[in-house]
Amino acid sequence: MDLELRSKTAVVTGASIGIGRAVAKALALEGVRVVAVARRKDLIEKLAREVQAEGGAAVIPLTQDIMQENAAKTLAAAATAELGHVDILINNAGAMFGSRQVAEGLERTFALNHVAYFVLAHVLRERLVASAPARVVNTASDAHRGARLDFDDLQSAAAYRGSVGEWLRHGGPGFKVYGRSKLCNILFTRELARRLTGTGVTANSLHPGFVATRFGDQSGGLISFGVRVAKRFALSPQQGAETLIYLASSREVAGVTGEYFHKCRPATPTREARDDASARRLWTATAALAHLED
């Protein structure tokens, strides 16, 4: 971290465990006021106490299930009312589910991993622009490799009806749908960066690596079992947080926007993830689903 961060304010989603917690704590210990967003109030309050005991800046817990349609809007209003300005938005919350689940008309993987990112960035845009230079960092994944979007089925109803052979090729329907959501993250980031051109706000996405967190634990069945085995060889949350912290706080990327990073370096996503026409189309479709202006 080589920026002057003590006057900054960051919103970090998925801040109760894993990568999000590591990022929130690291920023707060550098003097950033952090709005820590998660569903578990007890865990983010524990984080706030830890940071206070270590002499860091304020960690403001906000308990919110951002999968709910109006939650991101409520969260953004609460954050800005509390703090007045937002300099850094880190969209990090994410999950993978082994079966198709729908809440308030949205498939849960798509809602949490993509729509919530979109809505938060949309609602906080004015605050970010007013605070410029400001940054948006979106946690994507190399799980996007091999994924393709079906604009007639963005919420993946068909993916969960595939044959056993198709499921095995993709590691199960949950992995396939998760990969699509991570492709959405990269495309959304590219289009957001384009729309923020000239405002002083940058937007970048990243692959954090495979990290030993609670990710995948709620998927159920073979997915949860496979993830638990793989975690034996995974990165620590602190290691996984490094690229997020770099994108939020390094002078090296002050003017970089619309890019995809891995290990604190630019990386090349798939051709599908670099398709600007798809990025614009996804933006329009997501705005309609979220009942927001395009």
Task: Give me the active site residues, please.
Answer: 178
Among 12, 62, 13, 18, smallest CA distance to 32 is for 12
φ, ψ of residue 60 in degrees (nearest 5): -100, 110
φ, ψ of residue 17 in degrees (nearest 5): -145, 170
